[in-house]
Structure 1
Amino acid sequence: MTTAPASSATTIVPEYGDRVIAVETAGSEPIPDAERHGSPLQLLWTWASPNIEFATVYIGVISVLFFGLDFWQATAAILLGTVLGALTQGVLSLDGPRFGVPQMVIGRFSFGFLGNILPSGVNGLVAGVGWFAVNSVSAAFALNTLTGLRPLPSLLLVVAAEILIGFIGHNFVHVFEKYAFPALAVVFLLAGVWTFKDAHLGGGGSGGGVGGFLLAVSTAWGYAAGWNPYAADYSRYLPRTANRFRTVLFPALGLFLSVAVVAVIGAASATIVAPKDATPTAAFTGHLPGWLGDLVLLAIILGAISANALNIYSGAISITALGLKLPAWLGRSTLVVVSGVAGTAAAWASLLDAGSAYEAFLLIIAYWVAPWLGVILVERWLQSRTATGEELAWRLGDRSYTNWPGLAALLIGVAVSVPLFSNQEKYVGWVPEHYPSFGDITPLVGFVVSAGLYAALRRLTPGAAPVPAAPETAR
């Protein structure tokens, strides 16, 4: 008689693994090695597809029509803001395979377990409600223009598809983005060629000056960096041995190329006169031949669904990252539905004034992401100099772990930024009110203040962020 090898008796059969048509059960807990799969290449289309959509087009549109830049000034601002946001997207994606947890869970290093509730909660609202509403509105307008269906039924059809993809989970999201990518790229490139043929690249601009340029940079950066709080959500299933260079390169490249190309097409389209009563999507497609205009409207719908698949998924994941002891039935998939309902209500409320609402929303994202990112990046730098991988992994799940300098630096960075707020309908800060030529330097100031303050506080108060000793069972 022979006995089976011990390894066969202990083989782990993944419950989720690389299955596509299966509802993901994982929330904010670490992904075990047996569940790890995929390659960094999938991050290319996962971060490209969501940005080949109308919300990205509108970055270029508002740079010309709202901020007063000409086409070439808008293009320079878009490229500068986008490349900065894309670089940090690649860097943060590295922590997915390293720790196997979502991006907002990794924030516990910087803010402590309880302190991290604030940025996680904000990101849950911004992603699952704010961004979900913005993209759903553009898709609803596109469906309305294409079919004549009224805006509200159009909105409900779109959000149903978005919620379904997010409900199924991680693997299905990646596959959906993979197959959406070529269709979106081909249609928008065709629209771009036609748009540049009719555009007046030497025209546009109403004297935006330095202020308008900085507003456009902040808007482009806010859009690109707005994905940063999701970065590790889509790399956390990668094996620990995933190539580091490719894990940085592919998300950064996918994000930069998609945002830059599509937003520049939007800037070109803004130099073409559109009917005054046209919806935003109808204005963008009005100069196109009928067959291409219809394809673009379909692509706008598909692109919005691609973007919101990530928004609603990461919004729900951010809520699980709060570390609250929720009932078993209120897991990630249920939270997707809850976020979808809230986001649908917000989208419905903004249907009548989508343009100005989107402009304000983009800037608000930049206002909170910049200070958050400043703290996060400094903490990554400090980790590379101090703590071991074992200590860091233990710190993620320690509910008693505190790091008050991180939360203090975040809040002070936001507070210092308030007098710099610009281009908001209900509030304009003291600086842009008295010196409008400054434009919007809120993100830059918020980032510098929070990063510098956190580095100083951590250096002056090393006891504020102790590394707890791992128990024997964890060693």
Structure 2
Amino acid sequence: MSTPKSGSLTHVEQRGIEPVPGNERTGHPAQLFWVWFAANISILGLPLGATLVAFQMLNIWQAILVAVLGAAGSFAVVGIVSVAGRRGGAPGLTLSRAVFGSRGNMGPTFITLLSRLGWETVNTATAAFVLLSLFGIIAGTSFSAKEVPGLTLLGIGIFILLTVLVSWLGHSAILVIQKWATWIFGALNVVVSVFLITHVDWTAVGSAPAAPMSAVVTGIGVIAAGTGIGWGSTGADMARYQKKSSKALHLIASSAAGAGIPLVVLIALGALLAAGDPNLASAGDPVGAIREMLPTWMAVPYLIAAFGGLLLSNHLSVYAAGLTTLTLGLRTKRIYAVGVDVVVTFVGAVYFMLIADNFYGPFITFISLLAIPITAWLSVFLVDMIGRRTYDPAGLMDLSPAGRYWYKAGVSWRAMASWLAAIIVGLLFTVVHGSGSDILFAGWLHDTWIGESGVAWVATFTVGAVTYALLGGAKSTGTGSRESVDNDRAGVLIKAGR
């Protein structure tokens, strides 16, 4: 097994989901700051901020508060999951086998993979919109995706090719690229943001009344679902090479600050812009909508910054999706799993851009709905962490009935029951809208205060955490001698690719 070389842009990571031996863990918490900062300087933060003003009717101070609590707060949870990655040296969903069982874990893993593929599809489509705008500037005209399907497919292909290149190289390359790209694209974002501020309707911003507290709570849920919740398990994916001596508080702070700083700035800017132009939140092409606010000389750096931010987010997402695909059971190398995932996102992006009539309506619905089962997984996983300090490296990879985490019929029924109960309760308070005013799904309790306030995710987390705690948490999954095997022996105990 080849060890990632710190600072290498040419080394291809050969490791899949098997735990990292202790002697190969050389990472430090500051690396996570750069990873999450770069992954969140995406232009998608602007329409998220716009939704707070256009749909939730928040004023700017409420929008900033919601951004801090929803974005930085949800990434603090990602940081907590990073602690599990440091303990077990494996991706989050692989560690989850110890919680849900070798077979039971397939449910949360599949849902998480859907979330990752969904985000990648959104990133890819948005990046293709960016390239179409650049092509339009070069051609001296403007056109929609459906008017030039050939250029649309070219834009999608370019973005996916660049994504695969970095995701294929793996962990070591991502650490280097995320750090230096943060400075480059972060600087471009600052320049563009300063210019966009000149387009803010300050009269509208200052006169906006405060929304009720229920709208603030709903906004926190929307932002959390659209930012940290979807990245939940990825915290462990990026922390599995961390030194065993890395302090938990440092891992949490690096994740929360790294993602929180750019997200709060971009979400606040989106809220400011939407105060004078609420249509930004529902634009079919949000990149193009902001592009129209800028002169050509400023549009080019804006589009470059937008493309770079989306790429930095996407190659991290595809890397994590590859690991999740392997955890689901695909028997191949990590680099091939990456290829499988991008094929799916290519098809999804083509649908969004060339077939679907609306882009961000389905996007918000999608992330809000998947936030329920992912939040349920987080609730069980985090409670399990309280009673579990170590993971058996060989047990994580042994999916046979003789494996450490087989439990009964391959399922930890306490964890599975808690997860399912949390999902059911969350869906009871959830309403899913289709196009226009159509309702695709409405839970029995969606019209109660919890449902109307958009805090189904709070009910989900509470039910999952309390149920699993009452059932004993990690008490019977053990922290005994078999699970305290040092990961230094993982290379001996685990056969590569198993």
Letter in 1 for 2:314: N
Letter in 2 for 1:382: G
The Cα shift of 1:251 comes to 1.8
Mapped partners of 2:24, 2:124: distance in 1: 32
Alignment check: 8 A CA contact 1:218 1:366 kept:
no
Mapped partners of 2:231, 2:416: distance in 1: 21
Mapped partners of 1:277, 1:456: distance in 2: 46
Verify: 1:370 aligned to 2:375, yes or no.
yes
1:236 aligned to which of 240, 248, 273: 240
Taking a change above 3 Å as real, the CA distance of residues 466 and 237 of structure 1, as seen in their structure-2 partners, is closer
Taking a change above 3 Å as real, the CA distance of residues 15 and 383 of structure 1, as seen in their structure-2 partners, is closer
2:13 aligned to which of 16, 21, 24: 24
Verify: 1:321 aligned to 2:322, yes or no.
no
Give the TM-score normalised by the residue count of structure 2.
0.83
Q: Deviations over 1:131-150 (max 9, x none)?
A: 11011111111111121273
**Which secondary structure does the structure 2 equivalent of 1:350 belong to?**
helix
Verify: 1:272 aligned to 2:276, yes or no.
yes
Mapped partners of 2:178, 2:134: distance in 1: 23
More displaced 10-residue stretch of structure 1: 144-153 or 174-183? 144-153
CA-atom RMSD in angstroms: 2.8
Partner of 1:470: 482
Q: Deviations over 1:187-245 (max 9, x none)?
A: 22222222333213553679964454333211111122221210011111122233444
Verify: 1:458 aligned to 2:446, yes or no.
no
Verify: 1:429 aligned to 2:443, yes or no.
yes
Alignment check: 8 A CA contact 1:191 1:288 kept:
no
Verify: 1:396 aligned to 2:396, yes or no.
yes
Give the TM-score normalised by the residue count of structure 1.
0.87
**Which secondary structure does the structure 2 equivalent of 1:270 belong to?**
helix
2:315 aligned to which of 296, 302, 309: 309
Alignment check: 8 A CA contact 2:27 2:241 kept:
yes
Partner of 2:132: 144
Q: Deviations over 1:427-451 (max 9, x none)?
A: 2333334669832111100000000
Partner of 1:439: 453
Letter in 1 for 2:244: R
Residues 191-210 of structure 1 mapped to structure 2, 5 A cutoff:
191-201=192-202, 203=204, 209-210=212-213
Mapped partners of 1:472, 1:177: distance in 2: 34
Taking a change above 3 Å as real, the CA distance of residues 175 and 466 of structure 1, as seen in their structure-2 partners, is closer
Taking a change above 3 Å as real, the CA distance of residues 80 and 325 of structure 1, as seen in their structure-2 partners, is closer
Letter in 2 for 1:164: L
More displaced 10-residue stretch of structure 1: 281-290 or 112-121? 281-290
Letter in 1 for 2:241: Y
Residues 255-294 of structure 1 mapped to structure 2, 5 A cutoff:
255-273=259-277, 279-294=285-300
Verify: 1:415 aligned to 2:420, yes or no.
no
Partner of 2:496: none
Verify: 1:217 aligned to 2:220, yes or no.
yes
Q: Deviations over 1:91-137 (max 9, x none)?
A: 2212223221111112123212221111112212221x211101111
Alignment check: 8 A CA contact 2:429 2:450 kept:
no
Letter in 1 for 2:288: A
Alignment check: 8 A CA contact 2:88 2:240 kept:
yes
**Which secondary structure does the structure 2 equivalent of 1:198 belong to?**
coil
Return 5+ residue gaps in structure 1 as ranges: 1-12
Taking a change above 3 Å as real, the CA distance of residues 42 and 16 of structure 1, as seen in their structure-2 partners, is closer
Q: Deviations over 1:24-70 (max 9, x none)?
A: 11111011234333322111111011110122222101222233333
Taking a change above 3 Å as real, the CA distance of residues 247 and 437 of structure 1, as seen in their structure-2 partners, is closer
Alignment check: 8 A CA contact 2:393 2:485 kept:
no
2:22 aligned to which of 33, 52, 66: 33
Identity %: 24
Taking a change above 3 Å as real, the CA distance of residues 125 and 277 of structure 1, as seen in their structure-2 partners, is closer
The Cα shift of 1:182 comes to 1.0
**Which secondary structure does the structure 2 equivalent of 1:427 belong to?**
strand
Partner of 2:142: none
Partner of 1:7: none
Mapped partners of 1:211, 1:111: distance in 2: 34
Letter in 2 for 1:57: L
Taking a change above 3 Å as real, the CA distance of residues 408 and 189 of structure 1, as seen in their structure-2 partners, is same
Taking a change above 3 Å as real, the CA distance of residues 201 and 453 of structure 1, as seen in their structure-2 partners, is farther
More displaced 10-residue stretch of structure 1: 339-348 or 208-217? 208-217
Residues 379-390 of structure 1 mapped to structure 2, 5 A cutoff:
379-383=384-388, 389=390
Partner of 1:5: none
Mapped partners of 1:249, 1:233: distance in 2: 17
Mapped partners of 1:316, 1:406: distance in 2: 25
Alignment check: 8 A CA contact 1:17 1:34 kept:
no
Mapped partners of 1:277, 1:217: distance in 2: 22
Alignment check: 8 A CA contact 2:430 2:451 kept:
no
More displaced 10-residue stretch of structure 1: 186-195 or 268-277? 268-277
The Cα shift of 1:269 comes to 1.7
Mapped partners of 2:330, 2:126: distance in 1: 36
Q: How many residues align?
A: 451
Letter in 1 for 2:414: P
2:304 aligned to which of 298, 301, 307: 298
The Cα shift of 1:364 comes to 2.1
Mapped partners of 1:264, 1:26: distance in 2: 39
